[in-house]
Amino acid sequence: MCVIFIYVNSNPNPGGYKLILASNRDEFYARDTQDAAKWANAEHVYGGIDLEPGREGGTWLAIGGHGGVFKVGALLNLTGEPKPRNAVGRGMIVSNFAASKDDCNIQGYNSELLSECTKYSAFNFVSIEIGSKAPANILLLSNTPPGLEHFAEGKCYGFGNSLASAPFQKVINGRQRFQNIVEDFHSKLAAAPTEAMHNMQADLVTNLKNLLKCEHKFWPDAELARRAPNWGEYLSALNVSVPSAGYGSRTHTVILIDGQNKMHFYEDTMAGPDPKGEWRQTHIEKQYFQNENSTTQLFECSKI
């Protein structure tokens, strides 16, 4: 189980953002994972990495920036679907997309993936490509059944572990709360003096993290009950917690890209097997430039 909310605007107003993203990763607490960082084999890419034996190198969420173009990929399981025999690991779907340096290849990448998507277990793949010469591309590829949908920039979207045509109640309600946060930020931005921008960003990040940590159960939910008849109520909150199964929302992520191509990557992730215990907090700030050779990482910090 996972959830992601996004707002994309390739030409934001001063002080605004090209990308506002908030996402939860729901996974077994014991699954071995690397925290968000710059990738050793693709230094323009940032994200966590799956270290599960047989799945090493894959990821659930990553962002790559190259030559003024950003590629964001996120993978969400489609709950309750049968697993194909000899199914191929899905994590490299995101890794390969985010690491690609080909401009404007999002359509081709998804078209090729669509042609072979049935070899994977059921998934939703959210992909975003943001440049400066054309409107951003936002695509959702589902493989059960196979389909590819396009979404326009300038709106707020939410995706989860069901088809976009039958969203869970937590996605419907979470998307509305996300939209309220984004609209409130834009409203305040229009009237804010320049010196207030830093505090506004901090408030935006705090509000998005609070959204991701919401434990309210949006239940009953007919679609979730159909897909997960035994666990539906446990999975109906944005912040999932199933202590008896050692499973839940173990990572909260917020990503911002401003109008000058500065990226902020915030991650809160569990430091141990107890969701009520310690959490590691990572903030990566990186300034991207049109000239790929001028790309500079400003700082990266991690603390408990």
- For the chain, domains (ranges, CATH) are 2-303 (3.60.60.10)
DSSP class of residue 9? -
If we measure between CA atoms, which residue out of 132, 131, 74 comes closest to residue 105?
Answer: 131
- pLDDT score at 291: 63
Average pLDDT over the chain reads 93
Confidence of residue 263 (pLDDT cuts 50, 70, 90): very high
| Cα R_g (the chain), whole angstroms | 18
Confidence of residue 134 (pLDDT cuts 50, 70, 90): confident
Confidence of residue 292 (pLDDT cuts 50, 70, 90): low
| Region 136-150 average pLDDT | 98
Confidence of residue 295 (pLDDT cuts 50, 70, 90): very low
**Burial (CB count <10 Å: 0-12, 13-18, 19+), residue 200:** middle
- pLDDT score at 52: 87
- pLDDT score at 144: 96
Report yes or no: 2 and 253 within 8 Å, Cβ to Cβ.
Answer: no
Structure-block tokens of residue 254: 């917020």
Provide CB contacts within 8 A for 108, sequence distance 6+: none
Confidence of residue 264 (pLDDT cuts 50, 70, 90): very high
Residue 1, pLDDT > 80, answer: no
| C-alpha triplet 96, 62, 250: angle, nearest 5° | 130
Provide CB contacts within 8 A for 22, sequence distance 6+: 4, 5, 178, 208, 209, 211, 212, 252, 253, 254
- pLDDT score at 294: 47
- pLDDT score at 117: 96
Identify the residue with better confidence: 297 or 31.
31
- pLDDT score at 69: 94
